[in-house]
């Protein structure tokens, strides 16, 4: 999936309220996307009903994220009455919009592996554009609520989603999944992402997350994370890649030592250099906030770990595509701006 400005290919008197989305899709050379997606399907000569337009279904799933539409049923109803939206998603005049069941089969067929390839390629393009050249990685995790209630026979997991697990959120114990991110602190773009049941501790996922991020961002001099990541094993992993771990110690560790700590009021204490580097940790929080509020990460409306991974990768892909489109349209300074996002998504 190479990204480039293709110029005013569309012959339209007015693009209407979806003008920005037209420009986003026109900025992308989608031949690579189609090739990757078609690899999940059989040959056209095989017996069976031919599949719907792969790029159209791909665009439809992205439109759900761009438009912050919570339910697929809501998106389907919107497409039924909006000819322009159907045209945007490559639905022919004689065709019905993609039903939620069709999109569900599409996501299952494509799977996380295919979407991860697209995310990797988007990150590669951002790297070539100089957007992932920062030397600091910020790690953090976010909770997304499962689309299920607890099993009355065993409240530790979900009734319709048995892979979801419990985690304490504020004063409540909630069922869901944990989204673990490694973020380039300069661009605030996710370099690596993992999804696990909510009861999986950050320390367990951190080494694998770090390995994935380093493949994308080789020049890492420091890794910043909160005290949830505090373990000597993980610090050793960070030092093994010749980077400095900037992780505060809990008060019951390294007593009497001059190390980085954070008090109850979130004030950092310790060596000046570590305090300065630790100020970069909110980059991961801001990336998570944008994924939740502008790309629909918090609206998990599917069940199972595999589906949660697919949902998360689509949200990350929408974020990366928005950043790439901003750059290609000359708004490099606005790749993280909600104002820029509103311009790109029009009235949707």
What distance in Å separates the CA atoms of residue 108 and residue 3, rounded to the nearest whole number?
26
* pLDDT tops 70 at residue 77: yes
Cβ partners under 8 Å of residue 302, min gap 6: 104, 107, 147, 308, 310, 311
CB of 296 within 8 A of CB of 68? yes
Paired sense of beta strands 150-151 and 136-145, if any: unpaired
Output the pLDDT for position 312. 96
Percent of the chain predicted with pLDDT > 90: 42
pLDDT for res 12: 37
The Cβ-side half-sphere exposure at 80, using a 13 Å CA radius, reads: 8
The pLDDT of residue 4 is: 47
The better pLDDT of the pair 346, 186 is held by 186
Angle in degrees, CA 194, 196, 197, rounded to 5: 160
Question: Could you tell me the domains of the chain?
Answer: 16-41+51-126+302-345 (no CATH), 133-294 (3.30.420)
Residue 323 confidence (pLDDT) above 50: yes
Contacts of 348 (CB under 8 A, 6+ apart): 17, 18, 21, 63, 66, 67
Mean pLDDT of the residues in the chain? 84
Helix and strand counts by DSSP (H, E) for the chain: 12, 10
Q: Which helix (H) or strand (E) holds 134?
A: none
Residue 103 has pLDDT above 90, yes or no: yes
Q: Is residue 146 within 8 Å of 68, Cβ to Cβ?
A: no
The whole-number average pLDDT for the span 312-327 is 89
Task: Please check the confidence at residue 206 and state whether its pLDDT lies above 70.
Answer: yes
CA 346 – CA 18 distance, rounded (Å) = 6
Residue 269 has pLDDT above 50, yes or no: yes
| Predicted confidence (pLDDT) at residue 15 exceeds the cutoff of 70 | no
pLDDT confidence band for 29 (50 / 70 / 90): confident
Neighbouring residues of 5: CB distance < 8 A, sequence distance ≥ 6: 27, 328, 329
String of DSSP letters for 8-77? S----S--GGGHHHHHHHHTB-THHHHHHHHTTS--TTSSSPPPPPHHHHHHHHHHHHHTT---HHHHHH
From the CA atom positions of the chain, what is the Rg in Å? Answer: 21
Residue partners of 24: CB distance under 8 A and separation at least 6: 66, 321, 322, 325, 344
Predicted confidence (pLDDT) at residue 340 exceeds the cutoff of 60: no
Phi–psi pair at 179, nearest 5 degrees: -105, 120
Residue 180 phi, psi (nearest 5): -105, 125
Q: List the single range of 9-13, 110-114, 255-259 with lowest mean pLDDT.
A: 9-13
- Say whether pLDDT at 339 is over 70: no
Distances in whole angstroms, Cα of residue 325 to Cα of each of 27, 160, 256, 277? 6, 38, 51, 30
**Mean pLDDT value of segment 53-71:** 90
3-state secondary structure of 191: strand
Interval 294-309 mean pLDDT: 92
215 pLDDT more than 70? yes
List, for residues 216-245, the tens digit of each pLDDT value: 777 889 999 998 898 999 999 999 999 999
In this predicted model, what pLDDT tens digit does every residue of 111-145 receive, in sequence order? Answer: 999 999 999 998 988 888 888 877 899 999 999 99
Q: What is the pLDDT of residue 41?
A: 78
Please give the span between the terminal C-alpha atoms of the chain, in angstroms, as a whole number. 25
């Amino acid at each position: 999936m190479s990204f480039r400005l293709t110029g005013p290919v569309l012959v339209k008197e007015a693009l209407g309220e979806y003008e920005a989305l037209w420009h986003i899709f026109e900025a992308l050379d989608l031949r690579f996307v189609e090739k990757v997606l078609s690899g999940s399907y059989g040959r056209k000569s095989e017996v069976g009903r031919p599949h719907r337009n792969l790029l159209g279904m791909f665009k439809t799933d992205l439109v759900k994220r761009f438009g912050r539409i919570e339910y697929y049923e809501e998106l389907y109803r919107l497409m039924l009455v909006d000819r322009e939206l159907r045209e945007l998603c490559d639905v022919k005049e004689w065709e019905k919009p993609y039903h939620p069941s069709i999109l569900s089969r599409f996501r299952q067929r494509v799977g996380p592996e295919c979407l991860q390839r697209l995310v990797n390629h988007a990150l590669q393009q951002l790297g070539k554009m100089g957007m992932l050249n920062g030397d600091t990685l910020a790690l953090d995790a976010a909770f997304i609520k499962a689309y299920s209630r607890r099993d009355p026979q065993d409240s530790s997991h979900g009734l319709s989603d048995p892979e979801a697990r419990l985690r304490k959120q504020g004063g409540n114990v909630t069922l869901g999944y944990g989204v673990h991110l490694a973020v380039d602190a300069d661009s605030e773009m996710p370099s690596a992402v993992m999804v696990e049941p909510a009861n999986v501790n950050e320390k367990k996922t951190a080494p694998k997350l770090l390995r994935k991020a380093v493949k994308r961002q080789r020049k890492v001099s420091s890794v910043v994370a909160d005290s949830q990541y505090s373990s000597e094993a993980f610090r050793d992993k960070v030092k093994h890649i010749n980077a400095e771990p900037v992780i505060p110690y809990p008060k019951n560790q390294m007593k009497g030592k001059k190390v980085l700590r954070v008090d109850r009021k979130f004030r950092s204490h310790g060596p000046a250099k570590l305090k300065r580097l630790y100020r970069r940790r909110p980059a991961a929080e801001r990336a998570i906030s944008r994924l939740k509020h502008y790309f629909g990460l918090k609206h998990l409306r599917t069940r199972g770990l595999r589906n949660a991974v697919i949902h998360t990768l689509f949200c990350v892909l929408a974020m990366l595509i928005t950043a790439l489109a901003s750059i290609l349209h000359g708004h490099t300074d606005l790749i993280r701006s909600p104002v820029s996002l509103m311009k790109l998504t029009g009235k949707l």
